[in-house]
A and B are shown apart, each in its own frame.
Chain A
């Protein structure tokens, strides 16, 4: 009965949204804007969602979500345009697409490659939203059982895992980035006793750092500096005639699609791990599982399909922890969290009680956004590719202005801009030294949650740490966190490495005996 009720609710929301001309126009507009944004090298889905967030603060939550999810879906898909046509991925999520997309374009199959990415992205988003619809209510129910102990550990776990998996150079650089984010979250009056911390007597800092200017600064400014400084130039776009859905090729690679979609959803659900990792893992797995792995990198349809299905399926996956636990699954989801906070919607276990229809609404919007992306992709691909001709030194200064106006418009405080710039410059420097940015912003967002829940938990237990060991979920999270720490200690690394070698050597010997026998 509950499932039928939810299904009914879902269809009603879909039809209500789709039959409203204003909503439909906004949806298509934001999807096309997202595709354009994603196609332009140097502009990411995260930045797009962030900039659009600043324009939605005056409109109602549902309309805001239509525009933001439209932008998110469009930008992740749009990244493939640059990858295929000029071999420069529009977004990091589309970097893997360039591996086979560009060789296909060089063979004169740019239209076909775009058709494949359009269809694969559509299927990926649909699978993601299916998981969102099925699992989000279950996770939300489970999360209702959590207390401060679990929430503190969950916030800490989010930062740790996001740091650990996004740190390209050293794992602990990701953690350091997360700790810097946690420090930034401390600035201002604490929420339990309202004591000013690290404000240095500056009254403007009493309210703490506003999330959206920090996010825009952390993602926008490093991007602008990096692209202009390194003179990222765009080559001549490859020509193509028509973009068709290429259903026959898609049907031939159904297995790859299902596998990549599951990978995408799974990676999306892990805090802070974005679409780029989902695409690379999907690509790597598709190559390993392929009958023709030697074709990868030379224009394999399978490669293009795997990446695009993986990165778009990640969207639904990333929204699951965002809505149910208040922990964003990917960097653009961090921006969505900021947007929800502006609209007085607090994601987390209480969401299904405070806003019972919200998850259904988001699922319905995601469904419509994926249809809008599919239609726009097939019809407008040729026109959108034209934006690749705009040189970065011309459009990036305009992006800077958008970052500035966007940060300022939220609260009309110049002090937001004063904070956005140092955060942006700090983010640029740490990024250039191999520190990932995602854990930093996740730290800023989850810091208050970790701080409050740690103190609340200790208040309940009168200063005892024992409940961390007696509560099953808390203990499980604690073990994972401690293991993540310990796995970086050289002694433990050597010991586990030796153990692994022994096991595999033993298994290898057994296998060879069996073969010889």
Chain B
């Protein structure tokens, strides 16, 4: 990153730091007792649990100010105001890739892991993550991104409206089944997009394989050898249990 661009970011960061430091100090003085009694112990300022946060908050404000001064001196503020007035260009490939990674991580951690069978959510995440970037074509990435985002929004709505509970009550593992359908639909959509290209077809096959094999290795290893109870054990892990304990 060039120096002026870096200083522009420093200029913005310095304000965030100053605001954050002030927030820390205000929060401490508002919510943490500096001199009052807590748990039967009468506080003096130097034993207070607020002492350290106030020190850190003050240092953050100080550092923010130092950073701001440097950013202004090196032309960061000027660059910030210039860019602020200029019209923004379209999304670059790098930005798209960044959003792709973020989408995969966020949906995996916040959407699927707490609600969907862990094996299934891992398999879906691996498939999406590998195919997004291993196919290595920006046009495909855009289409696959939109497809996966739409599917995830659908499930988000399902969970937010608590429809999943009703569905699961009527038919066991029905939401797992729906996510599995999304997984299959995603694979099929990928296949449609890459028609005719032999190299992409090979990569598509590798993506499928690498989404299934590591999941099949890692998840049973943690569950049966390290005895780690998984976040959600749905239909697929139930199936694994049946196979595992059939031999006992």
B and A form one assembly: yes
CB atoms of A393 and B24 under 8 A apart: no
Please report the C-alpha to C-alpha distance between residue A172 and residue B61 in the assembled complex, in whole angstroms: 13
B102-125: which have CB < 8 Å to A?
A: 102, 104-106, 108-110, 113-114, 122, 125
CB atoms of A169 and B6 under 8 A apart: yes
A62 on the B face (CB < 8 A): no
CB atoms of B9 and A172 under 8 A apart: no
Pick from B67, B125, B126, B214: contact of A172, CB under 8 Å? B67
B33 on the A face (CB < 8 A): yes
B39-65: which have CB < 8 Å to A?
A: 39, 41, 43-53, 55-56, 59-60, 63-64
Contacts of A398 in B (CB 8 A): 126, 210, 214
Q: A176-B60, A179-B56, A198-B27 are in contact. Are A393 and B51 (CB under 8 A)?
A: no
Return B42 CB to nearest CB of chain A, in Å. 11
CB atoms of A455 and B134 under 8 A apart: no
Contacts of A421 in B (CB 8 A): 105-106, 109-110
**What sequence of 0s and 1s flags, for each residue 1-33 of chain B, a beta carbon within 8 Å of any chain A beta carbon?**
100001001100100010000001001100011
CB atoms of B113 and A455 under 8 A apart: no
Pick from B47, B113, B215: contact of A414, CB under 8 Å? B113
CB atoms of A425 and B102 under 8 A apart: yes
Q: A176-B67, A401-B218, A450-B52 are in contact. Are A463 and B46 (CB under 8 A)?
A: yes
Contacts of B108 in A (CB 8 A): 400, 404
Return B28 CB to nearest CB of chain A, in Å. 8
In the complex formed, the residue of A with least CB distance to B71 is A170
B70 on the A face (CB < 8 A): yes
Residue with the highest number of chain B CB atoms closer than 10 Å, among A58, A398, A450:
A398
CB atoms of A195 and B222 under 8 A apart: no
A244 on the B face (CB < 8 A): no
B140 on the A face (CB < 8 A): no
Contacts of B132 in A (CB 8 A): 393
Q: A183-B60, A455-B52 are in contact. Are A192 and B47 (CB under 8 A)?
A: yes
Please report the C-alpha to C-alpha distance between residue A128 and residue B49 in the assembled complex, in whole angstroms: 40
CB atoms of B126 and A401 under 8 A apart: yes
A206 on the B face (CB < 8 A): no
CB atoms of B49 and A193 under 8 A apart: yes
Q: A172-B63, A393-B133, A409-B222 are in contact. Are A198 and B53 (CB under 8 A)?
A: yes
B245 on the A face (CB < 8 A): no
B166 on the A face (CB < 8 A): no
CB atoms of B226 and A409 under 8 A apart: yes
A435-483: which have CB < 8 Å to B?
A: 450-451, 454-455, 458-459, 463
CB atoms of A434 and B129 under 8 A apart: no
Q: A176-B67, A409-B228, A455-B52 are in contact. Are A193 and B60 (CB under 8 A)?
A: no
Return A181 CB to nearest CB of chain B, in Å. 10
CB atoms of A176 and B105 under 8 A apart: no
Please report the C-alpha to C-alpha distance between residue A417 and residue B109 in the assembled complex, in whole angstroms: 7
Contacts of A459 in B (CB 8 A): 46-47
CB atoms of A391 and B134 under 8 A apart: yes
CB atoms of B101 and A179 under 8 A apart: no
Contacts of A192 in B (CB 8 A): 47, 49
A405 on the B face (CB < 8 A): yes
Contacts of B97 in A (CB 8 A): 228-229, 231
B136 on the A face (CB < 8 A): yes
Return A241 CB to nearest CB of chain B, in Å. 30
CB atoms of B46 and A397 under 8 A apart: no
Contacts of B210 in A (CB 8 A): 394, 397-398
In the complex formed, the residue of B with least CB distance to A488 is B66
**What sequence of 0s and 1s flags, for each residue 86-104 of chain B, a beta carbon within 8 Å of any chain A beta carbon?**
0000000010011001101
**What sequence of 0s and 1s flags, for each residue 378-402 of chain A, a beta carbon within 8 Å of any chain B beta carbon?**
0000000000000101101110111
B159 on the A face (CB < 8 A): no
Contacts of B94 in A (CB 8 A): 229-230
In the complex formed, the residue of A with least CB distance to B46 is A458
CB atoms of B52 and A401 under 8 A apart: no
Please report the C-alpha to C-alpha distance between residue A287 and residue B94 in the assembled complex, in whole angstroms: 37
Return A257 CB to nearest CB of chain B, in Å. 37
Return B96 CB to nearest CB of chain A, in Å. 9
CB atoms of B60 and A179 under 8 A apart: yes
Residue with the highest number of chain A CB atoms closer than 10 Å, among B9, B49, B136:
B49
CB atoms of B130 and A393 under 8 A apart: yes
Please report the C-alpha to C-alpha distance between residue A188 and residue B59 in the assembled complex, in whole angstroms: 20
Please report the C-alpha to C-alpha distance between residue A176 and residue B66 in the assembled complex, in whole angstroms: 11
A408 on the B face (CB < 8 A): yes
Please report the C-alpha to C-alpha distance between residue A179 and residue B98 in the assembled complex, in whole angstroms: 27
In the complex formed, the residue of B with least CB distance to A435 is B13
Q: Can you list 23 A-B pairs, Cβ within 8 angstroms, ordered by A?
A: A58-B227, A173-B67, A176-B17, A176-B60, A192-B49, A195-B39, A198-B53, A221-B105, A225-B102, A231-B136, A391-B134, A393-B129, A394-B206, A397-B210, A400-B105, A401-B125, A404-B109, A412-B229, A412-B231, A414-B114, A417-B113, A433-B6, A433-B10
With contacts A180-B60, A229-B97, A401-B215 known, what are 14 further pairs, Cβ within 8 A? A176-B63, A182-B56, A183-B56, A193-B41, A228-B101, A230-B94, A231-B97, A391-B134, A393-B129, A397-B125, A397-B130, A401-B125, A409-B226, A417-B109
